[in-house]
């Protein structure tokens, strides 16, 4: 096996992406519950109601799942950066993402701070994803698999487009927090999570193709 570190890392990155996908599904669930059933019953006589406690529990669960995904990213990229310099940049980017995600957990119930944190997470995770793609594309070309380079270039263009859309959506959420109903804000939050799920599916597809190549070479 020419690049055992990258092969090991891709397996970890696939696990990380599955955690991220699960976390975004939880996000959509929490958003819908907040905007509909639980929104009117978070407190009773200024105390947190059972419904409110359930909502907080689900929120913390999805954040924990997502942070676990970042940890798997860090574990995977720590080995891959020995094979290609692009993975090293991705490694440092994901560490910054992890720190921002932890800070977001602390301010999860402060909508303004949390939304700003999420906007920064979108930026840093995109940077790490771009350099992961570049690393896999570079090594695949060295192994004589130009089709991976073409597929990676297409995914590259898609995630940059998704990044632009998600950034616009996140800015709209920040604007709407104090000037609109929770239902309208929640619609944009669901759109953001849906785009993130699309990203995760794309990367799982690309990682699975890469895993087959690196296992044979």
Higher pLDDT, 148 or 110: 148
For residue 181, pLDDT over 70 is answered with no
Separation CA 88–CA 181 (nearest Å): 43
The model's pTM is: 0.82
Domain ranges for the chain, please list them: 4-216
Question: pLDDT-based confidence at 42, cuts 50/70/90?
Answer: very low
Q: In the predicted model, what is the mean pLDDT of the chain?
A: 82
Separation CA 63–CA 55 (nearest Å): 12
What pLDDT shows up at residue 11?
92
Higher pLDDT, 87 or 27: 87
Q: DSSP assignment of the chain, as one string?
A: ---HHHHHHHHHHHHHHHHHHHHHHHHHHHHHHHHTTTTT-SEETTEE-HHHHHHHHHHHHHHHHHHHHHHHHHHHHHHHTTT-HHHHHHHHHHHHHHHHHHHHHHTTT-HHHHHHHHHHHHHHHHHHHHHHHHHHHHHHHHTT-HHHHHHHHHHHHHHHHHHHHHHHHHHHHHHHTTTS-HHHHHHHHHHHHHHHHHHHHHHHHHHHHHHHHHHH-
What pLDDT shows up at residue 14?
92
What pLDDT shows up at residue 117?
82
Question: pLDDT-based confidence at 40, cuts 50/70/90?
Answer: very low
Q: Looking at residues 151-166, what average pLDDT do you find?
A: 92
What pLDDT shows up at residue 86?
93
Separation CA 129–CA 199 (nearest Å): 10
Separation CA 28–CA 177 (nearest Å): 17
What pLDDT shows up at residue 134?
93
Q: Looking at residues 141-162, what average pLDDT do you find?
A: 91
Separation CA 92–CA 78 (nearest Å): 9
């Amino acid at each position: 096996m020419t690049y055992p570190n990258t092969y090991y890392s891709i397996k970890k990155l696939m696990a990380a992406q599955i955690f991220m996908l699960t976390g975004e599904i939880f996000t959509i669930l929490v958003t819908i519950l907040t905007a509909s059933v639980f929104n009117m019953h978070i407190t009773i006589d200024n105390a947190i109601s059972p419904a409110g406690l359930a909502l907080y529990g689900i929120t913390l669960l999805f954040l924990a799942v997502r942070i676990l995904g970042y940890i798997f990213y860090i574990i995977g990229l720590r080995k891959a950066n020995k094979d290609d310099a692009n993975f090293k940049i991705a490694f440092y980017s994901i560490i910054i993402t992890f720190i921002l995600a932890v800070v977001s957990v602390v301010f999860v119930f402060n909508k303004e701070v949390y939304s700003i944190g999420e906007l920064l997470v979108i930026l840093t995770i995109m940077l790490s994803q771009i350099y992961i793609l570049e690393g896999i594309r570079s090594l695949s070309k060295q192994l004589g698999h130009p089709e991976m380079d073409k597929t990676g270039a297409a995914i590259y263009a898609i995630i940059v487009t998704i990044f632009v859309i998600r950034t616009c959506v996140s800015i709209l959420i920040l604007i709407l927090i104090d000037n609109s109903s929770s239902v309208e804000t929640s619609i944009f939050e669901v759109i953001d999570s849906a785009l993130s799920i699309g990203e995760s599916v794309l990367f799982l597809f690309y990682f699975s193709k890469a895993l087959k190549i690196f296992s044979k070479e």
